[in-house]
Amino acid sequence: MSESRYLLGHTESEIRRLVFQSTMLRDITTRLLVSAGIKPGMRVLDLGCGPGDVSMLVAKLVGPRGSVIGIDRSLAAIKIARKRATDSGLKNVAFSPLSLADFTDEGGFDMVTGRYVLMYQPEPTVFLQCAVALLRPGGKLAFHEVDITRQPVSTPFLPLFDTVCARTLSAFKGALSRHEVAVSLGSLLHSVNLTALGVFCEIPVECGQAVNICRWVGESFCSAYPETTEIEMACGQKISTQSLVDELIKESQGANAQIEFMRQVCAWGAVP
């Protein structure tokens, strides 16, 4: 079972971007986990855990009687996740530098979860089947994916924001195995014979400065194009990437814009 290369790498700046991204997505992921039926005492596996944000969120929800294992192919990300969990005083979460294909467990899990994971899988159905095989009877799968088939929208139109979004999503689409996976997430879970399926979609929206969305867009662009030092607009203006986030925020604030972020699609289901 092969996986796509992680486009943005695991540099210190990218890890910081992932941690910030998690603050944007935490409430949505929490709603997914609660909707899927997470409870104190559960044993949970978090796939593609990165620096550990979802794993630590789950650890708090399952409580001291529960436990969480987070796995990720990046040893650098796992080392950071372990330190962050220790610093947070969480003793019911552990991390291992493994892919799902290399992971084995005999105890079984009450839930397997993942955020922004399936879009990296050339064969998401096979990936989900491997995840299902690790569930106990009645166990749940819960996944949160982003729809990058639709670009963030600003009202009024923001030229710099639009340019940066378009180039960033173009890089993602070129690197991801299944960049469109979010639009068929519920169907994918149905294809692996899960029952009690549920699915919902949320779109984060900000107005005025739109600090969070502008920061995500700017930092994601810089991670996707680390060698780029400036962006040239259609009007000929050149924007340094070092000040890109500030320029995006200034543009949004100056227009008092409303920005709709990318759709966040969440789905869950249970094995019979």
The percentage of residues in the chain with a pLDDT greater than 70, rounded to a whole number, is 96
pLDDT tens column, 188-204: 999 999 998 999 999 99
**Does 11 have pLDDT greater than 80?**
no
**Does 265 have pLDDT greater than 70?**
yes
Average pLDDT over residues 54-69: 98
Rg (CA), the chain: 19
Average pLDDT over residues 47-72: 97
C-alpha distances in angstroms, 8 versus 27, 50, 68, 83, 261?
24, 12, 26, 21, 20
Please count the CA atoms within 13 angstroms of the CA of 80 that sit on its side-chain side.
19
C-alpha distances in angstroms, 85 versus 17, 48, 57, 153?
18, 16, 10, 36
Token code pair at residue 155: 């009202």
210 CB burial (10 A radius; 0-12, 13-18, 19+): buried
Distance separating alpha carbons of residues 114 and 27, to the nearest angstrom: 15
Residue among 184, 207, 209, 208 at smallest CA distance from 197? 184
CB atoms within 10 A of CB 26: 13
Average pLDDT over residues 144-150: 95
Alpha helices in the chain (DSSP H): 12-36, 53-62, 75-87, 124-132, 159-175, 185-191, 211-224, 244-255
Distance separating alpha carbons of residues 145 and 94, to the nearest angstrom: 23
Q: Is the peptide bond before 156 cis (omega within 30 degrees of 0)?
A: yes
pLDDT tens column, 85-144: 999 999 999 999 999 999 999 899 999 999 999 999 999 999 999 999 999 999 999 999
Place of tokens 């340094």: 240
Query: For residue 201, what are the β-bridge partners?
Result: 265
Token code pair at residue 131: 């995840």
